[in-house]
Copies of this chain bind each other. A is one copy, B any other.
Amino acid sequence: MMGILVVGSVALDSVATPFGRVREVLGGSATYFSIAASFFARVSLVAVVGEDFPPQYLSFLEAREIDLRGLRIVPGRTFRWRGEYGYDLNQARTLDTELNVFAQFSPRIPEEFRREKLVFLGNIDPDLQQEVLHQVEDPELVAADTMNYWIERKPESLQRMLKEVDLLIINDAEVRQLASEPNLLRASRRLLSWGPQALVVKRGEYGALLFTDSDCFAAPAYPLETVRDPTGAGDTFAGGLLGYLANTGDFSPASFRKGVIMGSVMASFNVEDFSLERLKSLTYSEIEARYREFKRLSHFEDL
């Protein structure tokens, strides 16, 4: 089994949806990713929090056996995000972002993490993502996320970073925006021509698409009666996908497809409750059962 190095944010989120609200709960891209990936593989986390970061959240991460030697605790307040969702749960509205200690985040990869074979670059400044890559030695698979904020502000940095990335995992609006092309297939082909060998397009309640030069795979989303909080769906998806790939060490097209389903499985659990509550109680046999449900959901016979 390979290990995964993840770099990103660990945050305190305040979230309101039509189904409830929570205040200053555990959040952040690296957190969601790590917890989801920890069901499948060893995870080493690099991030920064303030001295106000609640110790019970550290204990939760430790209980999932996530290596926290790269989590710096510095004077000041932890990154905070406040947002809300309407009935259209595909679209978050950001009410407030307090970067706090995250504003000075300059990821230093501990010596003992530099030989990890899988690297996930969470959604941070593309220049920082590149800095991370220059500190790791010969990874076998580098995956990255990004968002409209960086597409608009640092397109050149982003394109430079993409040259060194094997797998880009972003949502469909971001694919179109980054490629300046409204047609998703053509936009995806353009992004692949910039460097990555594979692209995963996340489409929320519509599932995900996996593109490579020669292949396209469509994964459905699991129809849920209860979606209480979509926060972290994209990062738990990435955690399930990379976790599966690290676990098997198999980077074949068939394995990537299974990984995309595993990402969809983890995201489908995560949105059932606020913060990481659902993953806290999740068991591996529940994961396997839902994987089988995805199979039933999308299977049809040959003509």
Chain A residues at the B interface, C-beta cutoff of 8 Å = 18, 87-88, 182-186, 203, 205-207, 209, 216-221, 223-227, 254, 257-258, 260-261, 288, 291-292, 295, 297-303
Contacts and interface: CB of A to CB of B under 8 A. Distances in A.
A297 B87 contact: no
Given A218-B207, A218-B220, A227 B295 contact: no
Contacts of A184: 205, 223
Contact of A206 (B203, B224, B226): B203
Given A185-B225, A220-B218, A258 B295 contact: no
Contacts of A261: 300
> How many protomers of this protein does the assembly include?
2
B224 A301 contact: no
A295 B254 CA distance: 14
A120 to B, nearest CB: 22
27 contacts: A18-B182, A87-B182, A88-B182, A183-B224, A183-B226, A184-B223, A185-B224, A186-B225, A203-B206, A206-B206, A206-B207, A207-B207, A207-B218, A209-B223, A216-B223, A217-B297, A217-B298, A217-B300, A218-B297, A219-B300, A220-B298, A254-B300, A288-B303, A295-B300, A295-B302, A298-B298, A298-B300
A300 B216 contact: no
Given A184-B205, A257-B300, 15 more contacts: A87-B182, A88-B182, A184-B223, A185-B224, A185-B225, A207-B207, A207-B220, A209-B223, A216-B223, A216-B297, A218-B223, A220-B220, A295-B300, A295-B302, A298-B300
A184 to B, nearest CB: 6
A292 B303 CA distance: 8
Nearest to A184: B223
Contacts of A206: 203, 206-207
> Which of A88, A216, A258 lies at the interface centre, i.e. has the most chain B CB atoms within 10 A of its CB?
A216
